[in-house]
Structure 1
Amino acid sequence: MDATARPAAPRADRALSRSAYAVPLSRTQLLAAAAVSVVGFALVYLVEVCTRAGQRQDVVVFARFQALPLGEHAGLIRDGVPIALGAVALVLGVRAVARRAARPVVAQALVVALAAVGSELLKATLPRPFHGTFAYVENTFPSSHMATTTALACAVLVLWGTARWRPEVAFVVVLLMLVAGIYNVTGFAHRPSDVVGGVLVATVLEGFTLAAFGLGARRLAPSPPT
């Protein structure tokens, strides 16, 4: 009896470990969120980047953001946020691997890499129509910096792996993303539309990747030990 019962415990531990990294959304909800982000990305590009009114509005907001405090430290702030998030994500990733939960680590590493590379490819591919010299004429949509920062923020949330302090961590992560977005604009690095576009690139990739890796809550719910 004991010999037949022992293998169930490691399987149960692995199931519990995997479920700790499941997001509170089903596969259908993850795919729907990704699809909504795709539509949002297209709308921001078509309205804010491709129309005269959108470009004008973008540069008006862009100019107003330069009056925010700590503007002289914008570069330090915008670079410091992803470095901090990346360091935390790395530590959490090592812990997840030690807990035999490599799948979410691979998924998040893939999202970060695709966000960084994909946003650069989009920036190089998408045209920016000339409707007058509103700020600078070259295309900077979407922001690869913000796409990568958002992907790292998502990695921290997904890899946290415990209910303890999770609401507080989510609050801090969202706050850091907001700060990074603001100072991407304040420091003349990106237009507001670039920042929004970068966030949407990351959420598209996050939704599709989590769904593809089976990291939705319903699929990874642990079965009772037998």
Structure 2
Amino acid sequence: MLDATRTPPRYDAPDARPVPRTGPRVLAAVVAVVAVLAVHLTWYVFVATEAGQRIDRLALAGAQHGQYELWILAEPVLGVVSVAFVVAGIVAAMAIALVRRRWALALQVALLVGGANATTQILKHYVYDRPHLLPGWNGANTLPSGHTTVAASVAAALLIAAPRSWRPTVAVVGGLWTAATGISTLVGQWHRPSDVVAALLVVLAWGGAVCAFGSRSSLDVASRPGDRMRSPSSYVTAGLMALAGVGAGVMAGIALTDLGTRVQDPPFEGDITAYAGGVAGVLAVTAVVFAVLLLVRQATARPERP
């Protein structure tokens, strides 16, 4: 017999609050650690070894090909990146979180942008150096790229702050914007490909860490009881981005293999193969980074009991 005096359980009762899942958070932490190791590996291979410096230098010199025409497109992209852009990006991401009444999430996205950009500057100026392994002046260390870090961190913050259904679109648009910024630094000969790749990995590390240690405020809330919050579009989007990244990675690998047979032969003339390979490498890493961030964010935002 039903007890008519018993109060039915409410969907918004305290014991029905979203509970984070442990597995996805552990995975996010692993992603962050792998990204940290990958940053160091990128520096070691392309900056701390003679062969790596030769390849990077060939790619830098190769940017002279078609530079005048490409700079017309690249200069406006780089002109957007500034302190004001960082502030605007943080404010926008925090505003999205606050509109969604996610107070702690607003602080998390600010930490992501600030932490990633601070990390890049510390690594560039105080942790990593550029040993003089090649003839002539190589310049100071430029790894990681500050401009790329700004663009990628703002895009990642917006991805993490956005509602669940918006995240696939934000990941694609943010990835395209970040890739355009990174490639523009190559066009202007501001950075080498390894600088851009390292910057992307720095942002991936911070994005993974924020997802791994996020508060309840970062969890999605089901729109109705029983909603499992599956995201087929996220899997499709991430899969297509990863597929594009693999394709670009294959092209970069082919270029790298070809260069491996010629990097020991000076002089260092502008090499279109190295330049194209560097661009392909940047596209590959950008696509994979944002695909991973999308999947990690969706997985860690989905609660145990929606």
- TM-score bin (small chain): 0.7 to 0.9
SS at structure 2 position matched to 1:26: helix
Q: In the alignment, which residue of structure 1 is the partner of 2:79?
A: 79
Most deviating of 136-145 and 63-72 = 63-72
**Residue 92 of structure 1: how far off its partner (Å):** 4.3
Q: In the alignment, which residue of structure 1 is the partner of 2:155?
A: 153
**Residue 30 of structure 1: how far off its partner (Å):** 0.6
Partners of 2:108 and 2:91 in 1: CA distance: 13
**Residue 93 of structure 1: how far off its partner (Å):** 2.4
SS at structure 2 position matched to 1:206: helix
SS at structure 2 position matched to 1:197: helix
Q: 1:59, 1:134 within 8 Å by CA — same for their partners in 2?
A: no
Partners of 2:39 and 2:157 in 1: CA distance: 21
Please give the residue correspondences for 1:87-106 in structure 2 after superposition, counting only pairs within 5 Å. 87=88, 90-106=91-107
Deviation string, structure 1 residues 62-105 (Cα, Å, up to 9, x no partner): 22234354214533212326777874663342132132212222
Q: 1:38, 1:200 within 8 Å by CA — same for their partners in 2?
A: yes
Percent identical: 29
Q: 2:211, 2:300 within 8 Å by CA — same for their partners in 1?
A: no
Shift in CA distance, 167/129, structure 1 to aligned 2, threshold 3 Å: same
Partners of 1:58 and 1:65 in 2: CA distance: 11
Greater gyration radius: 2
Q: 1:147, 1:200 within 8 Å by CA — same for their partners in 2?
A: no
Most deviating of 177-186 and 139-148 = 139-148
Partners of 1:133 and 1:76 in 2: CA distance: 34
Partners of 1:167 and 1:110 in 2: CA distance: 22
Q: 1:85, 1:153 within 8 Å by CA — same for their partners in 2?
A: no
Please give the residue correspondences for 1:49-128 in structure 2 after superposition, counting only pairs within 5 Å. 49-68=47-66, 69-80=69-80, 87=88, 90-125=91-126, 126-128=128-130
**Residue 135 of structure 1: how far off its partner (Å):** 7.3
- For 1:221, give the aligned amino acid: P
Deviation string, structure 1 residues 23-73 (Cα, Å, up to 9, x no partner): xx8111111111211221111111100111101100111222343542145
Q: In the alignment, which residue of structure 1 is the partner of 2:305?
A: 223
Partners of 2:145 and 2:205 in 1: CA distance: 14
Runs of 5+ unmatched residues, structure 1: none
Q: Does 1:9 align with 2:12?
A: yes
Partners of 1:182 and 1:89 in 2: CA distance: 23
Runs of 5+ unmatched residues, structure 2: 219-296
SS at structure 1 position matched to 2:165: coil
Q: In the alignment, which residue of structure 2 is the partner of 1:203?
A: 204
Partners of 1:75 and 1:223 in 2: CA distance: 48
Please give the residue correspondences for 1:28-67 in structure 2 after superposition, counting only pairs within 5 Å. 28-67=26-65
Q: 1:66, 1:185 within 8 Å by CA — same for their partners in 2?
A: no
- For 1:212, give the aligned amino acid: F
Partners of 1:77 and 1:55 in 2: CA distance: 27
Give the length in aligned residue pairs. 217
Q: 2:90, 2:110 within 8 Å by CA — same for their partners in 1?
A: no
Partners of 1:67 and 1:14 in 2: CA distance: 58
Partners of 2:200 and 2:144 in 1: CA distance: 8
**Residue 8 of structure 1: how far off its partner (Å):** 5.3
Partners of 1:58 and 1:88 in 2: CA distance: 31
Partners of 2:17 and 2:96 in 1: CA distance: 14
- For 1:143, give the aligned amino acid: S
Q: TM-score, normalised by structure 1?
A: 0.80
**Residue 6 of structure 1: how far off its partner (Å):** 9.5
Partners of 1:172 and 1:12 in 2: CA distance: 38
